[in-house]
Structure 1
Amino acid sequence: MHNPDSFIEEVTEEVRRDRLFAAFRKYGWIGGLVVVAIVGGTAWIEWTAAREAARAEAFGDAVLDSLDMGGTEERRAALSAIPAEGSQKAVIDLLLASDPSEDKAATLAALDRLIADQTQPQSLRDLAVLRRVIVAGAEMPLADRQMALDGIAQPGRAFRTLAEEQLAYLLIEAGDTAAAITALQALTVDQEASAPLRSRAGQVITALGGDPAADAG
């Protein structure tokens, strides 16, 4: 004679299987749809990646062709005519800002456009701020240059150490040599500063009569 508990378990299991098969028959199309979506999504990603690679290659070729042109005006005109989207616009603006000796006003205008473009990555806009301060030089009030650099000299910003270097140079310009030496000494031991920057800071400290290694230990 069968154990009643065992019989109940068998019946329960059979009911579960029946319900499961019924659910498969009713909702099985959802699983098929998920599979189709996954396959279609993978194909879309691959197609998008290939399209982006081709677009980037075409953009790079156009930039190189433009930079190979003879005169400054020809290069600027060719660069400005290149179709660009997203961060490509930032690249064009930086390239247009690369020849201040030929046209300082155009350089500053290109940098201002990049700085104001909220759609661009913060790192590119910070770089544009840094370059603008350097290109403008004394034509930009010292206090305005300090304010601009302070904004990108905050911890975590991509060009913090370069901004701090420029801030030290502004201290020299303002006549505060002691503060400039202290700021530069901090850069010589800053692990985020590049080797060329640390070397440069040390050379300036020496030129100012200070000791590059004063805070190193």
Structure 2
Amino acid sequence: MSDTDSFIDEVTEEVRRDRIYLLLRRWGWVGVVAVVLIVGGAAFNEYRKARATAQAQQLGDTILAALSENDPAARAAGLAQAEAMSPGGKAVLDMLLSASQVESGSREDAVNSLNAVAVQGDLPEIYRAIASFKSLLLQGDTLPAADRRQQFEALAAPGAPLRLLAEEQLALIDVADGNVDAALDRLQALRQDAEVGIDLQQRAAQMIIALGGEPEPLVAQQG
């Protein structure tokens, strides 16, 4: 390689270094900011996890302390003071609260606690259905039969998680309305349902006999 070529290479390399230096001076802060954001984001994520864990532990401690009370009213008061930060935690808390409210004789408050769960749209359907079902059971003596029928029919819709239990309650409403034939038809269909459990099947058979009917032979379900 000639001296001229060597000199050109040195100049080219120097220019390249100058350009890199200028680029670093102009844009180097971007890398610094990126590092700060990454480190800061990781630290915030860890803080958020730690806070959520602490809140869950605090809620658990509050619930356990309340449930340790022998007096139902004291249990209800303790649970009412607990604060849940997530929809799921709030649902569990309200269901526990409703049970203590029932035991303490505050049935109306228990219904309100359950209805609060039933209308939480961000909860899985099964939790909302359980809350609605239990609320309706508590209102057997206070809610008009027509209103209870309408709501149980909604719970008995195809694919609903508690549809068979809702059908059983609809049969009881039929009986209360004096429509025994409708109750018998509903109970016979309930016993033949492919998803019915043995306990519910047996209860339906006992109700049929009590109403003067005869349980139809069970049809073998196709696998």
Query: Aligned-pair RMSD on alpha carbons?
Result: 2.6
Q: Which residue of structure 2 lines up, in the alignment, with residue 5 of structure 1? A: none
| 1:138 counterpart SS class | coil
**Which amino acid is the alignment partner of residue 78 of structure 1?**
G
1:165 equivalent to 2:168? Answer: yes
Residues matched between the structures, number:
175
Structure 2 CA distance for partners of 1:90 and 1:186, relative to 1, 3 Å = same
Deviations 1:26-74 (A, max 9, x none): xxxxxxxxxxx9xx99xx79x95x9867765654443233112121221
Instruction: Note the alpha carbon deviations across 1:112-160, whole angstroms, 9 max, x for none.
Output: 2222222322221111111111100131011100111111111211111
AA paired with 1:134?
Answer: L
How far apart are 1:110 and its partner, in Å? Answer: 0.8
Letter in 2 for 1:63: I
| Distance change >3 Å, CA 191–CA 71, structure 1 → 2 | same
Describe the SS at the equivalent of 1:158. coil
Partner SS state of residue 69, structure 1: coil
Give the equivalent residue in structure 1 for 2:67: 67
Q: What corresponds to 1:82 in structure 2?
A: 82
Q: 5 Å matches for 1:56-205?
A: 59-84=59-84, 85-98=86-99, 99-100=101-102, 102-205=105-208
Aligned counterparts, 1:200-211, within 5 A? 200-211=203-214
> Which residue type is aligned with residue 82 of structure 1?
A
- For structure 2, the 5+ residue unaligned runs are 1-37
Contact 1:185/1:215, CA 8 A, preserved across alignment: no
Return the TM-score normalized by structure 2. Answer: 0.68
Corresponding residue for residue 31 of structure 1: none
Does structure 2 retain, via aligned residues, the 8 Å contact 1:115–1:126? yes
AA of the residue aligned to 2:167: E
Cα offset, 1:80, TM superposition: 1.6
- Superposition pairs of residues 1-20 of structure 1, within 5 angstroms: none
Quote the Cα distance in structure 2 between the aligned partners of 1:186 and 1:60. Answer: 43
Contact 1:93-1:111 at 8 Å conserved across structures: yes
- Runs of 4+ aligned structure 1 residues displaced above 3 Å come to 50-62
CA contact (8 A) 1:165 1:201 kept: yes
Identity of aligned residues (%): 33
Cα offset, 1:83, TM superposition: 2.3
Structure number with bigger Rg: 2
Which amino acid in 1 is paired with 2:193? D
| Compared CA separation, residues 60 and 143, structure 1 to 2 (3 A) | same
Label 1:190 to 1:74 Cα distance change in 2 as closer, same or farther (>3 A): same
Question: 1: CA distance between counterparts of 2:61 and 2:55?
Answer: 10
Q: Secondary structure at the match of 1:100?
A: helix
**Secondary structure of 2:181's partner?**
helix
